[in-house]
Structure 1
Amino acid sequence: MTLDGALRALPGLFAARAYLPSMGTTVYRAAHQTETGGLFTLDVAGDAGILSLYAPLAPHGETALAGACARAGGLAAVYLKRRPVEARHAANVEREYLSPPDPVWGEARPEVTALENGVPFLIRPGADLSVGLFTDARPARAWVREHASHGEGRVLNTFAYTCGFGLNAALGGAPVVKNVDLSRKVLAWGQANYALSGLPAPDTDFLFGDVFGWFTRLSRRGAQFDLVILDPPSFARSNAGTWRSERDYGRLMTLAAGVTAPGGRVLALLNHAGVTPGTFERLAWAGLQEAGRAGRITAHLGAGEDYPGATHLKAHVWSLD
């Protein structure tokens, strides 16, 4: 598809998703790569758009595309994300170029409150390449909220980011929810999300630090959870070394199994287009075997319907004996 073709398709794409706001979701993907020939994606949060480019455009082309997106969706502002093929290093050294803090079109919307299935979230369109919520995981968050009200009483949400999974567990009625992340900044963002829903957010439920270290600590304490949520990045560097999901996910599953109560579940997510569902299942199964646990997949969850043809996100629910 050409850029002109993608632009002509935009009004129809918005029309096809018009039901989402009426169902209580105002943060969603308005145009996915499969619908734009891989050239760009457009996410919407309230009246702000987040335009991600996967092919370079001249500055006037970026502005023109942003304006077309705004007109098609009635948006007040459009923010730009330039996403190079190898963004891991560039995201650190060229952050302001890749994610300009000001909109490329329209009036500034530094912070927007948007809804997902009726749950409010703070979205910061110009803050970074990640704006506060990964909308492809909406079905998985809905699953967590539903099952928290049916016996998933103690929940451990790892790689919590802004705590969307933990918030849904708490809203579903889980009496114990612990959110773990390496960034104090995003945990504070998560506490702000809790406040939007009128939920208490004591610091003791927001655990700062390395997830692997926390698994070890919790295991030594004899902590047990009915639901453990794994939503790691596909790649990360830290003082402990380099994490690659396609290589290391089994080790993560072993640690999760060590704090999952008998009869409990692990919601394992992987955002990596290069790993097939079968390979992902084998990685997780090997991790369970290493932990001496038996289990089976009881649900497969993928990206939402606003991600047609998407294969990058895998979400498997494992029930452990």
Structure 2
Amino acid sequence: MTATLILHPGKERSLLKRHPWIFDTSVARLAGQARPGDTVIVADSHGKPLAKAAFSPQSKIRARVWSFDPDAPIDHAFFKRRIAQAVLRRAALPELAGQQGLRLIHAESDGLPGVMADRYGDTVVLQLTSAGAEKWRDAIIAGLVQATGCARLYERSDSEVRGLEGLEPATGWRFGEAPAGEIVIEEHGVRMAVDIIAGHKTGFYLDQRENRRLLAELSHGKRVLNCFCYTGGFSLQALAGGATQVLSIDSSQPALERAAANLALNPGLEAARAQWHCANVFDELRKLKSAGETFDLIVLDPPKFAPSAAHAERAARAYKDINLLGCKLLAPGGLLMTYSCSGGIGVELFQKIVAAAALDAGRTARIVKRLQGAADHPIDLAFPEGEYLKGLLLQID
């Protein structure tokens, strides 16, 4: 018999607005028995069923909703249908047509909390981050293989967030065999190798695809600085766009070596126009400022400074510092492309932080464009937490 999660009075409000998370503080009691990942009925304080969700006793997010229909069966057919729907939604968007790197499932925003899947050519990479997703691994894999016709599927369930669910890391080939060589995709005319086994996330930052294209359009004739460059996605697009020089900085030497190797995959791009510096970005920017260096276009795409709202204050200082330095290094009329991927920093707060940085730098900054993740990273309006990537394109006087 399915257990029921009974909510405290009034705590059903977010659920009625179709928000998929039930926090531990909202739960009055569990009627019945449930193990991690089991499907439970979620009911209001009067016992009225409202949804079906995955139970996670070790997480502050005590349950994640699979369906807002409390009578819906959560079975293999459910996951097959949800996955097929996610794949078809992307196929219906013209801007995603022909993309070799594509996010297929974007967790809560595709109605599959704790499930992320990216496709690189004929390889799918799956990441499961919740107890519920873990419970239905086999069904999810089968659904992905059927919906995509992929040749192989690799699991990269090694995110630190799994620890909050009481889950151990899980990686390995789940369908098909490893490819004979490295996986290479082409994005807007630029070839990039993707390390699905050891790279960040599932191997690449697909969410920045359209922002990299925009950078290419802006880079002609400009001296570009790319901070936190990782494997060179922004850097190579700047070179492809006609930048006169691209200085890329990252603290990881292996990432920079991969970036240089990616450049070599594109013989049409002049290696002489690219410089790779292994350094702490904050320290290096201060050195560049002391040396009197200036740039026409700067990209600030730092790692996640605030994984949750609890880290927001400390993260705000880091974001302000990096943007202050960026503003000081820009030539008059230069462009600053600045991002935050921290879920604990909202869109409004991020804009305020950047505005304060520009003010302290004594510069006037104007928003040219607001930036966000690509179309294959949709945001469910009922789940604003899904808008983790936010950015601004600024012109600085």
Classify the TM-score, shorter chain: 0.7 to 0.9
Q: Quick check: 244-253 or 42-51, which moved more?
A: 244-253
Task: Give the structure 1 partner of residue 264 of structure 2.
Answer: 195
Question: Does 1:28 find its partner at 2:102?
Answer: yes
Q: Quick check: 112-121 or 165-174, which moved more?
A: 112-121
Question: What is the identity percentage for the equivalent residue pairs of Structure 1 and Structure 2?
Answer: 30
Offset from partner CA, 1:114-141 (integer Å, 9 cap, x none): 1222322111212245344211111211
Offset from partner CA, 1:41-69 (integer Å, 9 cap, x none): 11101111111112126978424422321
Task: Give the structure 1 partner of residue 365 of structure 2.
Answer: 295
Task: Give the structure 2 partner of residue 144 of structure 1.
Answer: 215
1:13 equivalent among 79, 82, 86: 86
Q: Secondary structure at the match of 1:258?
A: helix
- The gaps in structure 1 that reach 5 residues or longer are 237-242
Q: Secondary structure at the match of 2:335?
A: strand
Question: Does 1:255 find its partner at 2:325?
Answer: yes
2:146 equivalent among 71, 76, 81: 71
Shift of 1:278: 1.1
TM-score, length basis structure 1:
0.86
Decide whether the 8 Å contact of 1:20 with 1:26 is kept in 2: no
Shift of 1:215: 0.4
Question: Does 1:320 find its partner at 2:389?
Answer: no
- Relative distance call for 1:41 and 1:282 in structure 2 (3 A) is same
Q: Secondary structure at the match of 1:232?
A: coil
Shift of 1:75: 1.0
2:282 equivalent among 207, 212, 216: 212
Shift of 1:296: 1.3
Paired with 1:36 and 1:157, the residues of 2 have a C-alpha distance of: 35
Shift of 1:81: 2.4
- Relative distance call for 1:99 and 1:219 in structure 2 (3 A) is farther
Instruction: Give me the CA root mean square deviation.
Output: 2.8
Decide whether the 8 Å contact of 2:115 with 2:133 is kept in 1: no
What does 1:42-57 correspond to in 2, within 5 Å?
A: 42-56=117-131
What does 1:98-117 correspond to in 2, within 5 Å?
A: 98=169, 100=171, 102-109=172-179, 111-117=182-188
Paired with 1:112 and 1:189, the residues of 2 have a C-alpha distance of: 13
Task: Give the structure 2 partner of residue 186 of structure 1.
Answer: 255
Paired with 1:279 and 1:123, the residues of 2 have a C-alpha distance of: 33
Paired with 1:20 and 1:123, the residues of 2 have a C-alpha distance of: 24
Task: Give the structure 2 partner of residue 268 of structure 1.
Answer: 338
Letter in 1 for 2:241: G
Paired with 1:148 and 1:204, the residues of 2 have a C-alpha distance of: 13
- Relative distance call for 1:193 and 1:272 in structure 2 (3 A) is same
Offset from partner CA, 1:141-163 (integer Å, 9 cap, x none): 111011113x5x10000000011
TM-score, length basis structure 2:
0.71
Paired with 1:288 and 1:155, the residues of 2 have a C-alpha distance of: 19
- The gaps in structure 2 that reach 5 residues or longer are 1-65, 68-73, 307-312, 380-385
Question: Does 1:311 find its partner at 2:381?
Answer: no
Letter in 1 for 2:101: V
Task: Give the structure 2 partner of residue 231 of structure 1.
Answer: 301
Decide whether the 8 Å contact of 1:25 with 1:118 is kept in 2: no
Decide whether the 8 Å contact of 2:104 with 2:376 is kept in 1: yes
Task: Give the structure 2 partner of residue 161 of structure 1.
Answer: 230
> RCO greater where, 1 or 2, for CA within 8 Å and sep 6 or more?
1
Letter in 2 for 1:145: A
How many residues are aligned here?
A: 307
Of structures 1 and 2, the larger Rg is shown by 2
Decide whether the 8 Å contact of 2:246 with 2:273 is kept in 1: no
Q: Secondary structure at the match of 1:219?
A: helix
